[in-house]
Amino acid sequence: MTARITALATNLATGLVRTPPAPDLPETLPPGPPPLPPAGDYYLSRELTWLNFAWRIAGEAVDRRNPLLERLKFVAIVGSALDEFVMKRIGGLKTQVGAGVTDKTVDGRTPSEQIRQCQAALRDLDAYTHKVLVELQLELAEHRIEIVPWTELDPAEQRQLRDHYVENIFPLVTPQAMDSAHPFPFVSNLSLNLLVTLHYPEEHRDLLARVKVPVGVDIPRLLQLRGTMRFTPLEDVMQHNLDLLFPGMKVAACAPFRVTRNAVTEGNEDQADDLLAMIESELRERKFAAIVRVECGPQMRAEQRKLLASEFNLNEQADVFEKDGMLGVADLLSLYQLDLPELKYPAHRPIDNPALPTDRSIFRAIRDAESILLHHPYESFGTSVQRFLKEAAADPRVRAIKMTLYRTSQDSEVIAQLVNAARNGKQVAVVVELKARFDEAANIRWANRLEEVGIHVSYGVVGLKTHCKVILVVRQDRAQLRRYTHIGTGNYHAGNARGYADFGVLTCDEKIGRDITELFNYLTTGYRPERNYGRILPAPIRLKSAIIALIEREADIQREGGQGLIQLKINALEDAEITRALYLASQAGVRIDLIVRDTCRLRPGVPGLSETVHVRSILGRFLEHARVYYFRGGGEETYLLGSADMMKRNLESRVEVVVPVTLPKLRAALRRSLDLQLADTRSAWIMEPDGSYVRSMSEGPGCQQLLIDDAEARVKAADAIRKRPPRRGTGAR
């Protein structure tokens, strides 16, 4: 392990938490305004800053303020996130290299340079994660939770696991030889495999076989010994029982390996006669897409590594990752399911929003309040958004329901209510985004099911992903049709709503209703006449220019002697033009507070460039997913929330919706949330000018716990008001 990784591990373990800096940055930048992109010294790498986010997640795994199983969960999250990064980002960069692209990004790197730097960072992160996991296993053992290799089991335990393997797994295992009569077998994405070298007892000529480890439904990666919390990896059991697969043969070597395939296989929509068929074709292609990474254990022989690299058309030195310990650490998530509440965060039950009492129609509640702010997971998704759809589906006064669908859960209550609405004679239209990465197959299934019950299904606008989260319900309220809308920052996915921090607005604002009607007319036709939007800021039409104009307004206010203030809570800041606008506003003296979860191109605190910019990243038990934008405006404050991040793809090639929040009560709730996150010294990582992050180690509660406490306090206050006896009259008789 390198000295750099050891130093990082020491810092994280002893309290001074610091992630790696961005590579190749100058200590100082020339004076004057930042140039138009490209200007690599001013703009950090999208890929490398995202990998720094993975470092921060790994940092949560060694933070002893987090419960032990939560720390293990963070290790699993790192593993899953890196798999996706390699599939999407490394896969996309390799596609560019294959196409001969040599253009530099705004951070001054060609695709080849980005790949090299990302692979170096991945190796460092792999080494560090392994070190963290070794330390975690020692702590888990203190609670009798152990991952035990086969060689450390006693004979009785080995017999138990062998018997279980023979009875429940062995019939599913298929060894595949590799020789002149048996070509190299197909290896599926992210599958775990054994590469076995063996020979006949009377011969010394090596033979090769590949054995897939059949982890899947009802077959866990970690096999549990009866009556204990001790587990042995399935691949370890298989390695030590190869006599069942190869009776009478001598096993010379056996090593696990794992492959990652390119997930970037998008076709050309403009030339597709049938978008659904094109997406289905892409899914088939992805299954057989080029392999972009091989992971293997250190016990793999050098000639076997060369063989894998050759068969998969990879550069052995660059693309084959030798890793200590367990491959595919995302599978450790199964240990988190152990019934040990004392090793997890305290149980959290979302509250019911007090503005949505159950003793009246949700539509009446929205009318009474005008607009209601929802904050998940502190407030229940089921008793707000799902209830909104459920009542709409059953209400005889509801005439139509329209919504966008980007991701939803496997047992989706949202889908069930849309189907119910159609069966109840409502007009139902759903815009399904078939290109939601890794959810394409599920969305195709949902689209087919919805069409089967007569729902009008469309797939958005050619060339644009539909990423906005909106529902429109049209209801006959006495003598008029009234439009009720939900606009959110998160997907209509009940599972995500329990673990992702998102905002949403339920409103009957007529101007917003008209705008959302216009939006759906655009989404269901793709026609692009001049559309007049009164309230919402849609992308790609208006949002980017509107955000830049708001940033420039703060700079003008500052130059005129005012106090400019910009606060953005987003998942990513990647767009170079937005970044440059923020730099210029900072040079004018505007204070800029950025809460950016992962990717951030901007360098804060650089003298003469970004001295007034402060960047922090919040990590905790919930994934921060909300997007909120605040501009002081010289007293004419602007609060916005919606689905868009400050990324080029969101602003220019996706349909997004951002909506202003105008009611004082809702603004106060957004202000409270922003203030808590900006004051947090427990969950915040502070970004340095060199691209690294430093975390303080306060023992106080983090902002997420304070928001849980706030939600519970609001419920108690609402209950107290409801239980208060009515006032008696005080007039004279």
Residue 549 backbone dihedrals phi, psi, to 5 degrees: -65, -40
Q: Quick one: which H or E segment has residue 529?
A: none
CA distances from 199 to 176, 208, 209, 254, 305 (A): 15, 9, 11, 12, 19
Sheet-wide strand order for 222-224: 145-147, 229-233, 222-224
| Closest alpha carbon to 615 in 687, 681, 679 | 687
List the one residue out of 211, 67, 213, 50 whose CA is nearest residue 600. 50
How far apart CA 242 and CA 234 sit, in angstroms, is: 12
- Cβ-contact 327, 276 below 8 angstroms: no
**Whole-Å CA distances, 216 to 168, 220, 221:** 13, 7, 8
Residue 429 bridge partners (DSSP): 402, 456
Q: Say if residues 61 and 136 touch (Cβ distance below 8 Å).
A: yes
Amino acid sitting at position 689: P
**Do the beta carbons of residue 104 and residue 96 sit within 8 Å?**
no
Residue 149 φ then ψ, to 5° = -65, 155
Cβ atoms of residues 345 and 621 within 8 Å: yes
Count of CB atoms within 10 A of residue 248's CB? 7
Question: Could you give the count of Cα atoms lying within 13 Å of 565 in the half-sphere of its Cβ?
Answer: 10
467 as an active site residue: the answer is yes
The long-range contacts involving 220-223, CB below 8 angstroms and separated by at least 24 positions, are 220/334, 221/192, 221/328, 221/331, 221/334, 222/147, 222/331, 222/332, 222/334, 222/335, 223/161, 223/164, 223/165
Nearest Cα neighbor of 62 from 147, 158, 138, 173 is: 138
**C-alpha–C-alpha distance, residues 430 and 453, integer Å:** 12
CB hemisphere CA count around 672 (13 angstroms): 15
Q: What distance in Å separates the CA atoms of residue 609 and residue 30, rounded to the nearest whole number?
A: 9
Task: Quote the DSSP letter at residue 242.
Answer: G
Distance CA 62, CA 664 (A): 41
Structure tokens at 487: 């606009």
- The single-letter DSSP state of residue 462 is T
> What is the Cα–Cα distance from 694 to 569, expressed in whole angstroms?
19
Out of 130, 240, 376, 467, the active site residue is 467
Closest CA to 542 of 660, 708, 367, 393: 660
Please count the other Cβ atoms lying within 10 Å of the Cβ belonging to residue 36: 10
What DSSP string runs through 499-516? HEEEEEEEE--HHHHHHH
How far apart CA 335 and CA 133 sit, in angstroms, is: 13
Residues forming the active site: 467
